[in-house]
Amino acid sequence: MQHASKILLYVSDTRASTRFYGNVLERDPIESGPDFVSFPLAPGVQLGLWRRDGVKPTPHLRAGGNEIGFAVEDRAAVDAAYECWAAKGVPIALPPTDLDFGRSFVALDPDGHRLRVYAANGG
């Protein structure tokens, strides 16, 4: 049976993205090379950073069309994560905001990929 196991982001500078995600995720990559790096996200799920110039077929999408969601326990955890990421200099596209589904903020990686930290209503 097939199962999703890796989220792939196409990046312009693998080293810069590795530093960014290592800092934000507070973990080391489990696979690392000049054109591809992989970080553990959750049991059985990894984040792959693939240098855009080496991808076949060549991707034609720009960053920002998708998001990676990071669920946290509650509204306070959203605010705490925001304070932590902002203190690290992570660019913020949307500060903590109450939306229809819950509380959330959106950060951007070096290529403009969106990272949404959220707590669903009831959390």
Bridging pattern class, strands 67-71 and 114-120? parallel
- Contacts of residue 26, defined as CB under 8 A and 6 or more positions apart, other chains included, come to none
Of 106, 113, 116, the C-alpha closest to 16 is 113
**pTM for the full predicted model:** 0.89
Domains defined for the chain, CATH in brackets: 1-60 (3.30.720.120), 62-123 (3.10.180.10)
Determine the 3-state secondary structure of 82 from DSSP. Answer: helix
Give the pLDDT confidence of 44-90 residue by residue, as tens digits.
999 999 998 888 898 887 777 789 999 999 999 999 999 999 999 99
